[in-house]
């Protein structure tokens, strides 16, 4: 799976490091401290879920760690290289070479085919497009027979698998996934989570996934919990029950299975 001819230098043993990262949204009376001195170290080849109550800073953490937003202070290192502090152009280049994304709403371009969506990050990064490698990655995610299809001809689960292929094709150091199963039925969600697991276990990628769902989190190797913009503990080898229990203590109503509409 996800094979490639590209020879790679050995990754840095630490895929992601956050050092005292702080982020404030808004100004004056409306200022909200979304991240309050977060420090974190994730080894290469790990699969980490980020969980916490709504408003605890999960999205802000992901956006900052992925270089899509700027922290107000602190440092972020990806694959041993400092990401913070450079120009916007440098940051964009950094992102395109070292980081992959998977979003809840897939973010595919509707006018591009499955294959074109998958190779787009290579094009944007000015890299040569190895169509055989791209097709191999699409085969690996089970879409080898859908290369010419357009996104609106695919199910949600298939679209998310294209997004995973797109995230893998550049062979990034870290793949950030923001609620990747949030819009999917159970079976498609399971397929997506297994693909993320395989990216880590078979191919040594590092995955960081924000999720509300204890079932999704149980596919990860570990979970880090956030509360009020601060780290509030971690869990190795998470199980669904243990994660739900911990979330309940962090005050997340979603962990109590509140009925729809209440």
- Subset of residues 47 to 106 that bind ligand ADP, contact rule: CB under 6 A: 52, 54-60
Name the residue nearer to ligand ADP (CB basis): 13 or 26: 26
- The Cα 118–Cα 114 span in angstroms is 6
| Cβ 217 to ligand ADP shortest distance, Å | 14
Name the residue nearer to ligand ADP (CB basis): 14 or 36: 36
Name the residue nearer to ligand ADP (CB basis): 26 or 86: 26
Six token digits for residue 39: 């420090």
CA 243, distance to chain mean position in Å, is 19
Could you give the dihedral angle defined by the CA atoms of residues 176, 179, 184 and 185, in that order, rounded to the nearest 10 degrees?
120
- The Cα 131–Cα 106 span in angstroms is 22
Name the residue nearer to ligand ADP (CB basis): 36 or 198: 36
Name the residue nearer to ligand ADP (CB basis): 199 or 226: 226
| Cβ 235 to ligand ADP shortest distance, Å | 17
Name the residue nearer to ligand ADP (CB basis): 50 or 167: 50
Residue 171 phi/psi, 5° resolution? 55, 60
- Subset of residues 24 to 53 that bind ligand ADP, contact rule: CB under 6 A: 25-26, 32, 34, 52
The reply on whether position 107 binds ligand ADP by CB under 6 A is: no
Number of residues binding to ligand ADP, judged by CB under 6 A: 12
Alpha-carbon distances of 141 from 46, 96, 118, 128, 227, rounded to whole Å: 20, 21, 12, 22, 34
| Cβ 210 to ligand ADP shortest distance, Å | 7
The pairing of beta strand 230-236 with beta strand 73-78? unpaired
- The Cα 180–Cα 202 span in angstroms is 20
Name the residue nearer to ligand ADP (CB basis): 45 or 55: 55
- Subset of residues 149 to 178 that bind ligand ADP, contact rule: CB under 6 A: none
- The Cα 47–Cα 176 span in angstroms is 10
| Cβ 91 to ligand ADP shortest distance, Å | 18
Residues 63 and 223 sit within 8 Å (Cβ to Cβ):
no
Rounded (5°) CA angle 101-94-74 = 90
| Cβ 102 to ligand ADP shortest distance, Å | 16
Helices and strands (H and E) in the chain: how many:
8, 10
| Cβ 85 to ligand ADP shortest distance, Å | 22
The pairing of beta strand 206-210 with beta strand 47-51? parallel
- Subset of residues 5 to 24 that bind ligand ADP, contact rule: CB under 6 A: none
| Cβ 16 to ligand ADP shortest distance, Å | 17
- The Cα 212–Cα 53 span in angstroms is 8
Q: Which residues bind ligand ADP (CB under 6 A)?
A: 25-26, 32, 34, 52, 54-60
């Amino acid at each position: 799976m996800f094979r490639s001819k590209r020879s790679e230098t050995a990754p840095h043993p630490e895929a992601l490091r956050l050092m005292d990262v702080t982020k404030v949204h808004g100004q004056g009376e409306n200022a909200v401290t979304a991240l309050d001195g977060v420090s974190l170290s994730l080894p290469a080849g790990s699969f980490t879920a980020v969980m916490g109550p709504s408003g605890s800073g999960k999205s802000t953490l992901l956006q900052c760690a992925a270089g899509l937003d700027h922290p107000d202070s602190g440092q972020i290192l990806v694959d041993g290289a400092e990401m913070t502090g450079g120009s916007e152009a440098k940051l964009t280049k950094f992102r395109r070479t070292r980081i992959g994304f998977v979003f809840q709403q897939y973010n595919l371009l509707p006018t591009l085919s499955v294959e074109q969506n998958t190779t787009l990050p290579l094009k944007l990064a000015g890299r040569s497009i190895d169509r055989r490698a791209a097709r191999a990655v699409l085969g690996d995610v089970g879409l080898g027979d859908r290369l010419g299809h357009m996104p609106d001809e695919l199910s949600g689960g298939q679209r998310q698998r294209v997004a995973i292929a797109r995230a893998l094709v550049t062979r990034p150091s870290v793949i950030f996934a923001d609620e990747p199963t949030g819009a999917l039925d159970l079976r498609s969600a399971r397929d997506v989570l297994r693909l993320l697991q395989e990216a880590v276990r078979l191919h040594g990628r590092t995955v960081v996934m924000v999720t509300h769902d204890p079932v999704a989190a149980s596919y990860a190797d570990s979970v880090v919990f956030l509360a009020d913009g601060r780290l509030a503990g971690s869990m190795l080898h998470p199980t669904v029950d243990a994660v739900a229990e911990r979330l309940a203590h962090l005050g997340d109503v979603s962990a109590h299975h509140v009925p729809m509409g209440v």
